[in-house]
Each structure stands twice: as structure tokens, then as C-alpha cells.
């Protein structure tokens, strides 16, 4: 006798799965909307699925959690991000603290590409591709902001007083006050 009104139980939510909404994987039933990666919650299909110990993952999260680690095991452009896998339960290695050198003789690389100059706001090296000159000093594009209001500046909208840069509007307000 047929089972009217019933169906298998969804492995993810334990609700009844009817035939029209059923996805089967590894002998288990899922609702289409429950067939998601355990980490990033993206929808899965037969081409993006990876299984590990009864858990389902997209190939990207599976590779990050269980794949090989170290130099040379990158996966395309995804390796350019700063994701160290904390949300996957991977404990990051302790990063060594940066200790700036007091070497006054910059390298040939720094001489050629402009890394020997220091940003007037943050003190880090300013390279040619990101350098803006203002008040006779080099600045990063992100640091080239009004010291009072924080607005991003351009060479035509900035003015200088006592070695600091301001928007022309801020300086006019200060002069009037």
C-alpha cells in the first residue's frame, strides 16, 4: 500500500521531504533549500558537492578545511584573500610582529620604486603608485585627508598650515573664527 502524505526525512532539518522537492545525496534525502554547504551556506548541486564524514561542503570550503596546506596549493584568485580559515575551525599560526628597521641606507628596490619616503600621516613607506605630494611631503592616497574633518583631499582642494593638510573650507572657517 502506498505511503500517502509522507516521505523521507530531510537530513538537515528533519522535516518531511516530498518527492518534488527531494535531493538525494549519499543515500540521504534533503529539501532543495536545505542542500547547502555546512560553512558558507551556498546552495549545492552535483558539480559543486564534496562530502566528508556525513557533512556536505562546496568544493571551495572543503578544500580550505581538508585540502593540502602550504605554499603552492593555491586555488586561483581565491588564494589572494586574507581568509585564514578561522570560521572553519582552523587555528591561525601566530604571526611574527613587524619590527621596522632603523637602516638609513634604503635598498636599491626602495630607491627605484620610491619606498624610501615615509607618509607624513602614518609613517609607513610610500611607493610611487600610491604617492600624493602635499605640503611638500609624500602621502598615501588613503592618508591624504583633512586633519580636521577627515575628508579626502585633492591637490586643488587642500591647503597647508604648520606641516598639516586641511580642506580649504576648514581653513577659511578657522580664519573667520
Q: Identify the structural domains of the chain with CATH numbers, from first to last.
A: 22-66 (2.10.110.10), 117-171 (2.10.110.10)
In angstroms, rounded to a whole number, what is the distance separating the alpha carbons of residues 42 and 161? Answer: 53
pLDDT at 74 over 70: no
Cell of 166: 586641511
Q: Identify the burial level of 82 via C-beta atoms within 10 angstroms of its C-beta, where 0-12 means exposed, 13-18 middle and 19 or more buried.
A: exposed
In angstroms, rounded to a whole number, what is the distance separating the alpha carbons of residues 172 and 146? Answer: 13
The per-residue pLDDT of the chain, averaged, comes to: 74
Cα torsion through 149, 155, 160, 163, rounded to 10: 100
Which H or E element spans position 63?
helix 59-66
In this structure, of 65-69, 74-78, 85-89, 136-140, the range with the lowest mean pLDDT score is: 74-78
DSSP 8-state secondary structure symbol assigned to residue 93: P
Over the stretch 116-167, which tens digit does the pLDDT of each residue have?
Answer: 688 888 888 888 888 888 888 888 888 888 888 888 888 778 888 887 888 8
Question: pLDDT band for position 109 (50/70/90)?
Answer: low
In angstroms, rounded to a whole number, what is the distance separating the alpha carbons of residues 132 and 145? Answer: 11
Q: Are 116 and 110 in contact (CB under 8 A)?
A: yes
Over the stretch 41-67, which tens digit does the pLDDT of each residue have?
Answer: 888 888 888 888 878 889 888 888 887
Question: pLDDT band for position 19 (50/70/90)?
Answer: confident
Nearest to 73 by CA among 83, 85, 58, 63: 63
Question: Strand, helix or coil at 51?
Answer: strand
Amino acid at each position: 500500500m502506498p505511503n500517502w502524505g509522507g516521505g523521507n526525512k530531510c537530513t538537515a532539518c528533519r522535516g518531511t521531504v516530498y518527492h518534488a522537492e527531494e535531493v538525494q545525496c549519499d543515500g540521504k534525502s534533503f529539501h532543495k533549500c536545505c542542500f547547502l554547504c555546512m560553512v558558507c551556506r551556498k546552495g549545492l548541486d552535483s558539480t559543486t558537492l564534496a562530502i566528508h564524514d556525513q557533512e556536505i561542503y562546496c568544493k571551495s570550503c572543503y578544500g580550505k578545511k581538508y585540502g593540502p596546506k602550504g605554499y603552492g596549493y593555491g586555488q586561483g584568485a581565491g588564494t589572494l584573500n586574507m581568509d585564514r580559515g578561522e570560521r572553519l575551525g582552523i587555528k591561525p599560526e601566530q604571526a611574527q610582529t613587524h619590527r621596522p628597521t632603523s637602516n638609513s641606507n634604503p635598498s636599491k628596490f626602495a630607491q627605484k620604486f620610491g619606498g624610501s619616503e615615509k607618509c607624513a600621516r602614518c609613517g609607513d613607506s610610500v611607493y610611487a603608485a600610491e604617492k600624493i605630494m602635499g605640503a611638500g611631503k609624500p602621502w598615501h592616497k588613503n592618508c591624504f585627508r583633512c586633519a580636521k574633518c577627515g575628508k579626502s583631499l585633492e591637490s586643488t582642494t587642500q591647503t597647508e598650515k604648520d606641516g598639516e593638510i586641511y580642506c580649504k573650507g576648514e581653513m577659511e572657517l578657522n580664519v573667520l573664527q
